[in-house]
Amino acid sequence: MPNMKAVIFVEKGRIVLDEKAIPDIGPLDALIRVTTTTICGTDVHILKGKYPVERGLTIGHEPVGLIEKLGSAVDGYTEGQRVIAGAITPSGHSYACLCGCGSQDGPGTKHGFKAMGGWKFGNTIDGCQAEYVLVKDAMANLSPIPDGLTDEQVLMCPDIMSTGFSGAESGGVRIGDTVVVFALGPIGLCAVAGARLMGATTVIGVDTVPERLAVACTLGADHVVDFRAGDPVEQIMALTDGRGVDVAIEALGTQGTFESSLRVLRPGGTLSSLGVYSSDLRIPLDAFAAGLGDLKIVTTLCPGGKERMRRLMDVVSAGRADLKPLVTHRFKLDEIETAYDLFANQRDGVLKVAITP
């Protein structure tokens, strides 16, 4: 196979564009020619050495592209078809998958479970910040893009939208609920949209960046809370007239947001955690009602698989959530290092970047 360009983790602080062989595919795989991809906060964690991956790995887990080649056992697709795959690519056949827990997929492990095992792209296998990406278990993961949708319109589906929406879904949001979302980065913004989409009647977004607070309002927040303007817990309790919220979605991954999420819950409420934490967490005794408050803490890793992608693309097709404002910048793959610099440093009001090989 000839070479392709790929974005490679070299060492802590260095992710570079380099050349790599276009991968060979096995019977269950597909080779995708990437037409658009993006950078995720997790990629920045990798760049900064906070999340360890092997040197030489291609980074990126949000692919939009064309089917270049199909494995010999792959049925139901045609070469040239426009597809996406989720950031998480469950095998479909592990014990975890068959238990409804595909994100924790461990097909090669003794028992079929592996923590975060469904996250393969740019983590345990080469990712999609490249001209081509190999998708394992293609039949479970390739999802055709509906006619009429552009690459950018579906670019949020593989990770940001799936993760953000899952915050509302795992939280069990019901018609009439009050929901707060802590931190309005791309995932938090999608959590706002997801809570709204499931019928929450009061959606509160918490952040401090004015542009993000403004986007939250366009995506469905009824109220925004700037935590520099005062204790966010107090502000939220005031907004809910002392009742607290039914569901609090944590979308940052810090002790502060985790703890505040817990403190604003009504008795019997649910903390739905999406953040990637980097240190131990503390549960304050009082915020936990000493264990007697019927509180729940649920965590969710981005749901993947082709059915999930199909549903999310339908949300876009149907105009139920307009995530276009999330793509604030565009780069060629050749400019990826500039893109990382902008994104990692949160400059110029960046939310998400579109990268086109």
Within 81-140, the residues that bind a second copy by CB under 8 A are 90-104, 106-108, 110-117, 119, 137, 139-140
Length of the chain in terms of residues written: 357
Q: Interior CA angle at 142 toward 140 and 143, to 5°?
A: 110
Cβ proximity to a second copy, 86 vs 357, nearer residue = 86
Binding a second copy by CB under 8 A: which of 3, 150, 278, 345? 278
**Nearest distance in Å: CB 69, a second copy:** 16
Q: Give the Cα separation of 198 and 176 in Å (integer).
A: 10
CA dihedral (147, 149, 155, 157) positive or negative:
negative
**What type of residue is 107?**
P
Residues of this chain, 33-62, that bind a second copy according to CB under 8 A:
none
**Nearest distance in Å: CB 119, a second copy:** 8
Reading phi first (left if > 0) and then psi (alpha if -120 to 50, else beta), residue 219 is in alpha
> Is 2 among the residues that bind a second copy (CB under 8 A)?
no
Cβ proximity to a second copy, 43 vs 131, nearer residue = 43
**Nearest distance in Å: CB 243, a second copy:** 4
> Is 290 among the residues that bind a second copy (CB under 8 A)?
yes
Tokens for 84, please give them.
């996406």
Q: Give the Cα separation of 305 and 303 in Å (integer).
A: 7
**Nearest distance in Å: CB 93, a second copy:** 4
Q: Give start and end residues of each alpha helix (H) in 54-155.
A: 95-98, 138-141, 151-154
Tokens for 102, please give them.
């595909």
8 Å CB contact between 90 and 140:
yes
Residues of this chain, 167-186, that bind a second copy according to CB under 8 A:
169, 174-176
Q: Which stretch binds a second copy (CB under 8 A): 208-216, 271-279, 323-331, 337-345?
A: 271-279
Q: Residues in contact with a second copy, total (CB under 8 A)?
A: 96
Q: Give the Cα separation of 241 and 333 in Å (integer).
A: 50
**What type of residue is 133?**
V
Q: Find where tokens 């090989």 sit.
A: 357
Tokens for 25, please give them.
């595919």
Cβ proximity to a second copy, 107 vs 232, nearer residue = 107
Tokens for 145, please give them.
């893009």
Binding a second copy by CB under 8 A: which of 144, 288, 337, 356? 288
Q: Give the Cα separation of 49 and 45 in Å (integer).
A: 6
Beta strands per DSSP E along 112-244: 132-135, 143-144, 178-182, 202-207, 223-226
Q: Find where tokens 């509180």 sit.
A: 295
**Nearest distance in Å: CB 29, a second copy:** 10
Cβ proximity to a second copy, 8 vs 295, nearer residue = 295
Binding a second copy by CB under 8 A: which of 127, 185, 188, 253? 253
Cβ proximity to a second copy, 56 vs 76, nearer residue = 76
Cβ proximity to a second copy, 55 vs 174, nearer residue = 174
Residues of this chain, 294-333, that bind a second copy according to CB under 8 A:
294-301, 305-308, 310-312, 314-315, 317-318, 320
> Is 244 among the residues that bind a second copy (CB under 8 A)?
yes
**Nearest distance in Å: CB 297, a second copy:** 4
> Is 76 among the residues that bind a second copy (CB under 8 A)?
yes
* Residue 64 host element (H or E): strand 64-70
* Residue 9 host element (H or E): strand 3-11
Compute how many other C-beta atoms are within 10 angstroms of the C-beta atom of residue 225. 24
> Is 342 among the residues that bind a second copy (CB under 8 A)?
no
Cβ proximity to a second copy, 41 vs 357, nearer residue = 41
Q: Give the Cα separation of 27 and 22 in Å (integer).
A: 16
Residues of this chain, 199-238, that bind a second copy according to CB under 8 A:
199, 201-202, 222
Binding a second copy by CB under 8 A: which of 24, 267, 330, 334? 267
Tell me 99's DSSP state: T
Cβ proximity to a second copy, 130 vs 265, nearer residue = 265
